[in-house]
């Protein structure tokens, strides 16, 4: 019956609804997993496993795979047409769009990965061919990128571990553009010391650093990645929602073949003194923070050769009082052994001020340690995807803007060769 419904309205010669939904979908048999694998549409087989029942207890009579593998489903035949129409309506109808996303790439030192970009950018208007370009590579010392047609080649350094954000741009035949980005993590599988954990992959339990999470809160609320005000990139580690007198902890064990260092950033927004973030190294409490603490960098020497355990614990005092956001954050944790030199840390431009004199806008900020220059980004839209397309390079911690629009927003990045700091706050 469902196949008949599909043929009448959605098949190649469907006539119901004036034929507006005809020939815009595939019919896929869902009787057995073997039949799924032989269909003419690239079905994600993990979806099939959901046929045993969804979270609300219903077993779906059918499921529809829509744009970017979004799942639409219902448990009765009366909804089939409505669900399939919704799936088709959600598809892009004009311009260039992202057909698929590139997942985080985890690479060993010296390895090579080739990614086929053919299904990343698509044109709803049929405005082909689509030209793909590499917009930026935030850490070319760890990974290099080359593009040959639709094949993107990533080559990991043979010695420099670290993380890099790669941004790509697709441009269709009508000059419509769209960008996407993904993270590459280069690490040494034989010696974890020398890696950077910036939580950009969105998990706490994937290599190169696997965190053990513990808490005494019921139901469990523990550390997790968060997009709330990260120090670097788009994510940081954020404490769970815990009760008075409780704790949540994230712990990692890293092997150091030589003496080395651990360096990281912390931020707190808690009740002063009593609710606090504590850092432990091999079971010894080294430091703690509470109250409103801005992003602060901390470095400790590793003198024990072999396995070393680091621990971040958020504790709440049992006094019935909370403060701030009642959360703490950790970001950009770096592990270096003696054979790996610590790269200079570029401070984020701070204390940015603006003033208007004779119609010109003067922007000033504090000098950033180790910076040899700055990029001043501008956009009339503060919510535009970063990095903004318009920027100027300056060598001093000041910039003069002659208005070309009634409203303009700015942020600043410190630079030193190919290395860049995180983005400053946005000013108007």
pLDDT of residue 331: 93
pLDDT confidence of 338, banded at 50, 70, 90? low
- Specify the CATH class of 96-187 in words: mainly beta
The mean per-residue pLDDT over the stretch 209-233 comes to 84
What's residue 147's pLDDT? 94
Q: CA torsion angle for 63, 65, 69, 71 (degrees, to 10)? A: -30
Helix/strand number for the chain, H first, E second: 3, 29
The mean pLDDT of the chain is: 80
Q: What are phi and psi of 246, to 5 degrees?
A: -115, 175
Mean pLDDT, residues 6-32 taken together: 76
SS3 for 120-185, per residue? CEEECCCCCCCEEEEEEECCCCCEEEEEECCEEEEEECCCCCEEEEEEEEEECCCCCEEEEEEEEE
Looking at the predicted structure, is the pLDDT value of residue 395 above 80? yes
Q: What is 196-337's CATH number? A: 2.60.120.260
CA 336 to CA 377: how far, in whole Å? 32
Q: Does residue 54 carry a pLDDT above 50?
A: no
Whether residue 97 is predicted with pLDDT greater than 90 in this model: the reply is no
pLDDT of 43 reads 47
Reply yes or no: is the peptide bond before residue 119 cis, omega within 30 of 0.
Answer: no
Distance CA 188, CA 198 (A): 16
CB 263 within 8 A of CB 342: yes
Q: At 277, is the pLDDT very low, low, confident or very high (cuts 50, 70, 90)?
A: very high
What is the residue extent of each domain of the chain?
A: 2-89, 96-187, 196-337, 353-420
* Distance, CA of 287 to CA of 404 (rounded, Å): 49
Please, which pLDDT band fits residue 320 given cuts at 50, 70 and 90? Answer: low
pLDDT at 319: 64
Half-sphere exposure of 351 (CA within 13 A, CB side): 6
Q: Is the pLDDT of residue 12 over 70?
A: yes
Return the SS3 of 37. Answer: helix
Q: How confident is the model at residue 248 (pLDDT cuts 50, 70, 90)?
A: very high
Percent of the chain exceeding pLDDT 90 equals 17
Phi, psi of 28 (to 5 degrees): -125, 125
Per-residue confidence (pLDDT) for residue 306, from 0 to 100: 81
In the chain, % of residues over pLDDT 70: 80
| pLDDT average, residue stretch 359-370 | 85
Mean pLDDT of 84-89: 83
Q: Do 78 and 127 meet the contact criterion of CB atoms below 8 Å apart?
A: no
Residue 281: predicted pLDDT: 92
**What pTM was estimated for this model as a whole?**
0.42
Question: Cβ atoms within 10 A of the Cβ of 189, count?
Answer: 11
> CA of 113: how far to CAs of 104, 109, 149, in Å?
12, 12, 15
Confidence of residue 170 (pLDDT cuts 50, 70, 90): very high
- Give the per-residue pLDDT at 153: 96
- What does the alpha-carbon distance between residue 195 and residue 355 come to, in Å, rounded to a whole number? 42
């Amino acid at each position: 019956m469902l196949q008949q419904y599909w043929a009448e309205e959605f098949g190649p010669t469907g006539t119901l609804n004036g034929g507006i939904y005809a020939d815009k979908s595939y019919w896929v048999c869902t009787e057995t997993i073997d039949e799924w694998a032989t269909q003419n549409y690239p079905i994600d087989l993990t979806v099939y496993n959901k046929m045993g029942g969804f979270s609300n207890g219903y077993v779906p009579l059918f499921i529809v795979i829509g744009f970017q593998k979004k799942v639409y489903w219902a448990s009765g035949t009366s909804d089939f047409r409505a669900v399939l129409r919704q799936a088709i309506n959600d598809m892009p109808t004009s311009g260039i769009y992202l057909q698929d996303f590139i997942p985080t790439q985890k690479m060993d030192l010296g390895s090579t990965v080739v990614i086929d970009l053919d299904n990343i950018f698509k044109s709803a208007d049929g405005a082909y061919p689509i030209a793909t370009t590499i917009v930026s590579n935030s850490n070319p010392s760890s990974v290099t990128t080359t593009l040959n047609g639709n094949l993107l080649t990533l080559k990991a350094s043979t010695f420099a571990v670290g993380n890099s954000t790669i941004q790509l741009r697709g441009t269709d035949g009508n000059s419509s553009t769209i960008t996407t980005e993904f993270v590459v993590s280069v690490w040494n599988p034989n010696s974890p010391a020398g890696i950077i954990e910036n939580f950009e992959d969105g998990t706490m339990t994937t290599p190169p650093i696997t965190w053990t999470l513990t808490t005494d809160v019921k139901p469990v609320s523990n550390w997790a990645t968060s997009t709330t005000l990260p120090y670097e990139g788009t994510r940081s580690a954020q404490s769970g929602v815990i009760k008075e007198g409780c704790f949540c902890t994230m712990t990692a064990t890293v092997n150091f073949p030589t003496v080395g260092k651990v360096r990281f950033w912390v931020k707190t927004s808690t009740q002063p003194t009593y609710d606090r973030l504590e850092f432990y190294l091999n079971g010894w409490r080294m430091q703690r923070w509470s109250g409103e603490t801005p992003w602060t960098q901390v470095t400790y020497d590793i003198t024990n050769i072999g396995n070393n355990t680091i621990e971040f614990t958020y504790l709440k005092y049992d006094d019935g009082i909370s403060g701030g956001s009642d959360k703490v954050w950790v970001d950009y944790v770096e592990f270096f052994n003696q054979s790996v030199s610590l790269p200079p840390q570029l401070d984020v431009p701070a204390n940015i001020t603006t003033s208007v004199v004779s119609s010109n806008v003067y922007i000033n900020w504090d000098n950033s340690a180790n910076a040899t220059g700055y990029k001043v980004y501008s956009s009339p839209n503060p919510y535009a995807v970063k990095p903004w397309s318009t920027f100027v390079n300056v060598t001093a911690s000041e910039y003069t803007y002659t208005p070309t629009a009634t409203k303009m927003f700015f942020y600043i990045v410190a630079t030193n060769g190919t290395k860049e700091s995180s983005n400053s706050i946005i000013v108007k």
